[in-house]
């Protein structure tokens, strides 16, 4: 692993540890049970969008805290992951549409079945800043969005 990846991994571990360190003492100090896990899961979502925590790991963490999931953790986590994936896939064209960038029908269909969930969850954030419709998918922000693509 090169130096920058090592630094990034160390920062991610430190941030994840910080989330845990905040949640546990918060509960001990009287932070409402609904609030501390919400902050933790919000932090996990941010780490997921940066590619640090996988969607499957986020889903398993949420399933462990969901009162209705206790008997069927794996199924609950899969349902959460599927729903999260679908929502993020639907958000990409919405963001690009709001920016008046035409999103081809083929791209919309491809998003619905995109195989890499961990990349997919980062696409809506990227769609807000790219200058080309292909940018969320390729990471190439070199061109302006075209309205007739």
What residue has token string 């896990």?
37
Shared domain for 77 and 35, answered yes or no, is no
Query: Is residue 47 domain-shared with residue 82, that is, in the same domain?
Result: no
Tens digit of each residue's pLDDT (9 = 90 or more) over 12-46: 778 777 777 766 776 677 777 666 677 777 788 88
49 alpha carbon, distance to own chain's centre = 4
Which residue has better confidence, 1 or 5?
5
Domain count, the chain: 2
63 in any annotated domain: no
Domain span including residue 23: 1-53
Q: What is the pLDDT of residues 121-135, one digit of tens each?
A: 888 888 888 766 666
In a shared domain, residues 91 and 144: yes
Same domain, 88 and 49: no
What percent of the chain has pLDDT above 90?
2
User: Which of 16, 87, 4, 3 has the alpha carbon at shortest distance from 54?
Assistant: 16
């Amino acid at each position: 692993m090169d130096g920058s990846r090592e630094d990034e991994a160390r920062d991610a571990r430190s941030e994840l540890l910080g989330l845990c360190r905040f949640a546990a003492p918060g509960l001990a100090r009287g932070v409402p049970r609904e609030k501390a896990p919400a902050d933790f899961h919000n932090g996990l979502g941010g780490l997921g969008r940066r590619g640090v925590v996988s969607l499957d790991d986020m889903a398993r963490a949420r399933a462990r805290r969901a009162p209705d999931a206790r008997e069927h953790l794996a199924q609950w986590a899969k349902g959460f992951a599927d729903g999260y994936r679908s929502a993020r896939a639907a958000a990409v064209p919405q963001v690009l549409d709001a920016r008046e960038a035409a999103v081809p029908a083929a791209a919309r269909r491809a998003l619905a079945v995109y195989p890499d969930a961990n990349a997919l969850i980062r696409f809506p954030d990227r769609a807000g800043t790219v200058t080309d419709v292909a940018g969320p998918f390729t990471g190439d922000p070199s061109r302006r969005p075209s309205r007739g693509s």
